[in-house]
A and B are shown apart, each in its own frame.
Chain A
């Protein structure tokens, strides 16, 4: 009994300590995940905690489950807009990029460490997957963001390269432990079944799960749980037929998100929490698992392999994958730098240990060191790198008050409540003048705490609360209508997106001539929209193009089309007062 109580105490203490430490982490500029890892290490055998934990089977089990949950959540959060923009580059990075990374790392590892070619390639595979959570965590805490293309590429890559890295690792472990290795046809079969089966089960399972969620009458709290266990079921099913459970779970999440069953928002919120918990648990366990006293012996070769990964393998893989897509070079440089390694390499490093490969210990220790090195070196310089490359998009902190409700029996409708803020556009207008797609969708107006009858709505006052029925895709427009942004934020946004607004239909040549620039050949008959489309194959908000010395930006997109163009001015010269 005492050990059980002590265990619960330890879990509670470590978890709470780790979460409180997340407040400190952004101030130190290190990724939050690094803090959990350190807390785990401090609790472990080489730290004051002194807990001896070397159960690799349990670490592998817990790690796989945590990873499945994190991937499912990642899939749920990926919307179709992300896909349109990010699928091709991220898909290349997650396949060709992973192989290239593993290959280059293997070259260096074979040279620096006592590993055979096959073992060195295994090490490469183990460390080939990236983690985007750490990137966004750091940026978010500093109130800056990246453009949509960078966000979707990093996010989809981070999700899609996990199954690929797992696949490579398992395949190599099997080949290394099999007598006489693995034949080429066997290896090909392995890949086809893993990828094809995983994709099929994930897609089918996601649709089935969505259908079930829409059909069953359950108490509200049970919908997210059903989705959760459904995801584990899909993972297990796929794994039981030698297909990739990670790929299946990730795709199931994506499929579910596209189907949008009625309880979707509860499902999302629940998995947000569960994924956090999985991250925390994963890193604590991995921290506990580490044996830092073994690291010094491997310090120099591990440093060499880490440097090869960060400065050689990743940039090379990124350049070869993204150059053919005409990806902007600044964004390529950023993606190359923020190839952060998270928990996945450490989880993968337990596979060779479980298979009792002779090189397993070296692989595990080096992988662990690489993750620490990457989190520290790259993780703490994410915002710095984005600033150097001029990629930080200022974020406007809107004061939108939004309360959301589910509408029973309907999917895709929400009731939203906004507080009409002082100085925002709706003040002084009637509901009809708001320019809503259908004014009758306003459900009620509350003024001075009183629900007003329709006849008394009149013009809106600051402080009124207004509730309306809306579709999720109308959210951005509604948020913009009710936003009251801080003027300092708007100033930064204007500096980035361009102060003057130009009509996308304006002639490019006329705009350039208005500012004394000589229009380059080819733009004579074009509108701004056409010119930008030609120069930017896949435009996202914040994209910039310099034409004959005039800098144009994509200010706003509407369903992928350029809806507003900005004109950027050179920085005003410092003035004397």
Chain B
């Protein structure tokens, strides 16, 4: 699976400033809504936060993968945010989070959902990749980095 298939340059943003996990998820919802047709950012936000209630999607070492399933979404949509200042994300390792990869998938996509998540997690568990992502100069550079690696 290629992450480029679910990502677009307009949904990769480096240097967002937020003050909390909630605000970070709001920003993420807005970004994801850009590719979600008729689905609103508020609906996406509800989906993401209800998933967070089951357990933080923070993977540790500053990375989180908020995700949810939505009816009304045609294809899987991804978005990437790099925060200017890391926020507390209730991650199990206690570390703050500054890299967020959001994912929404269609209601019926069960197997694909898990496979997408596995591919994203695989990429972000690579320490060298995270270092490069944190050092990327701007939105375009970050997008280029992610699409070149997957």
Interchain nearest-CB distance for A184 vs B (Å):
61
Q: Are B114 and A570 in contact (CB under 8 A)?
A: yes
B55, B95, B109: residue with the most chain A Cβ atoms closer than 10 Å: B55
Interface size on B, residues (CB 8 A): 36
User: Which residues of B (69-89) have their CB < 8 Å from a CB of A?
Assistant: 69
Rounded to whole angstroms, the CA-CA distance of A564 and B110 in the bound complex is: 24
Q: Mark A484-506, 1 if CB is under 8 A from B, else 0.
A: 00010011001000011111001
B54 contacts A514, CB within 8 Å? yes
> When the two chains form the complex, which single residue of B113, B114, B150 contacts A575, counting CB atoms closer than 8 Å?
B150
State whether B93 touches A502 (Cβ < 8 A): no
Q: Do A573 and B115 touch across chains, with their CB atoms under 8 A apart?
A: yes
Residues in B whose Cβ lies below 8 Å from that of A575: 1-2, 119, 150
Interface assignment of A293: CB less than 8 Å from any CB of chain B = no
Judge whether A506 and B55 touch: CB under 8 Å: yes
CB distance from B107 to the nearest CB of A (A): 7
A569 to B107, CA, bound (A): 18
Cα distance A517–B107 when bound, in Å?
Answer: 11
Q: Verify B69–A569 contact, CB threshold 8 A.
A: no
Q: How far is the CB of A374 from chain B (nearest CB, A)?
A: 40
From A487, A564, A569, B61 is in contact (CB under 8 Å) with A487
The reply to whether B59 and A499 contact each other, CB–CB distance below 8 Å, is yes
Known: A487-B61, A487-B127, A506-B55. A573 touches B119 (CB 8 A): yes
Any chain A CB within 8 A of the CB of B29? no
A491-B125, A499-B59, A575-B2 are known contacts. Are A516 and B54 too (CB-CB below 8 A)?
A: no
Q: How far is the CA of A571 from the CA of B127 in the complex (A)?
A: 19
In contact, A501 and B119 (Cβ under 8 angstroms): no
Q: Is A565 on the interface with B (CB-CB < 8 A)?
A: yes
Could you tell me if A502 and B54 are in contact, using CB atoms closer than 8 angstroms?
Answer: yes
Q: Mark B108-141, 1 if CB is under 8 A from A, else 0.
A: 1111011101110110010100000000000000
Q: Is B8 engaged at the interface, CB distance under 8 Å to the other chain?
A: no
**A178 at the B interface (CB under 8 A):** no
Please tell me if B23 contacts chain A, counting CB pairs below 8 Å. no
A221 to chain B, nearest CB (A): 42
Q: Does B35 contact A (CB under 8 A)?
A: no
Residues of B contacting A572 with CB < 8 Å?
Answer: 1, 115, 118-119, 121-122
| In contact, A516 and B109 (Cβ under 8 angstroms) | yes
Do A506 and B53 touch across chains, with their CB atoms under 8 A apart?
yes
A516 touches B108 (CB 8 A): yes
User: Does A303 interact with chain B (Cβ within 8 Å)?
Assistant: no
Query: Smallest CB-CB separation from B105: which chain A residue?
Result: A516
Chain B residue at smallest Cβ distance from A487: B127
Indicate if B15 sits at the interface (CB-CB under 8 A): no
Q: Which residue of A lies closest to B108 (CB)?
A: A516
Minimal beta-carbon separation of A84 from chain B (angstroms)? 26
Given the complex of chains A and B, what is the CA–CA distance between A149 and B144 in angstroms?
47
> What residues of B have a CB within 8 angstroms of the CB of A491 in the complex?
125
Smallest CB gap from B47: residue in A: A514
Q: Are A565 and B55 in contact (CB under 8 A)?
A: yes
CB-nearest residue of chain A to B56 = A501
**Measured CA separation A494–B118 after assembly (Å):** 11
Within 8 A of A (CB), among B47-61: 50-51, 53-61
Contact B121 A499 (CB under 8 A): yes
Q: Is A332 an interface residue (CB 8 A)?
A: no
Chain A residues contacting B22 (CB-CB under 8 Å) are: none
Residues of B within 8 Å of A565, CB to CB, are 55
Q: Which residues in A have their C-beta under 8 angstroms from that of B117?
A: 499, 569
Say yes or no: is A81 at the interface (Cβ < 8 Å to chain B).
no
Q: Is the CB of A174 closer than 8 A to any CB of chain B?
A: no
- Tell me, in angstroms, the Cα distance from A254 to B122 when the chains sit together: 45
A478 within 8 A of B: no
Q: A425-B94, A501-B56, A573-B1 are in contact. Are A514 and B119 (CB under 8 A)?
A: no
Assembly CA distance A367 to B82 (angstroms): 67
Distance in Å: Cβ of B133 to nearest Cβ of chain A: 15
Bound-state CA distance A479–B105 (Å) is 39
A266 within 8 A of B: no
Set A490, A514, A516: member contacting B60, Cβ < 8 A: A490
Contact at B68–A514, with CB atoms within 8 Å? Answer: yes
The reply to whether the CB of A454 lies closer than 8 angstroms to some CB of chain B is no
How many whole Å from A73's CB to the nearest CB in chain B?
37
Partner of A516, one of B2, B69, B92, B122: B69
Residues of A within 8 A of B113 (CB): 515-516
Question: Is there an interface contact between B61 and A570, defined as CB atoms closer than 8 Å?
Answer: no
B54, B69, B114: the one contacting A506 at CB < 8 Å is: B54
Complex Cα gap A567–B121 (Å): 12
In whole angstroms, how far apart are the Cα atoms of A177 and B119 in the complex?
Answer: 70
A491 and B124 CA atoms in complex are apart in Å by 11
Knowing that A425-B93, A569-B121, A570-B118 are A-B contacts, what are 18 other residue pairs whose CB atoms are under 8 Å apart, sorted by A's residue number? A499-B121, A500-B59, A501-B56, A501-B58, A503-B55, A514-B51, A514-B69, A564-B92, A565-B55, A569-B118, A570-B114, A572-B1, A572-B118, A572-B121, A573-B1, A573-B119, A575-B119, A575-B150
A selection of 18 A-B contacts at a CB cut-off of 8 Å is: A487-B61, A487-B125, A494-B59, A499-B121, A500-B59, A501-B92, A502-B55, A510-B50, A514-B68, A516-B107, A516-B110, A565-B55, A567-B55, A569-B117, A569-B118, A570-B114, A573-B1, A573-B119
Identify the 9 closest CB pairs spanning chains A and B, nearest first.
A516-B110, A502-B55, A569-B118, A506-B54, A572-B118, A572-B122, A503-B55, A572-B119, A501-B92
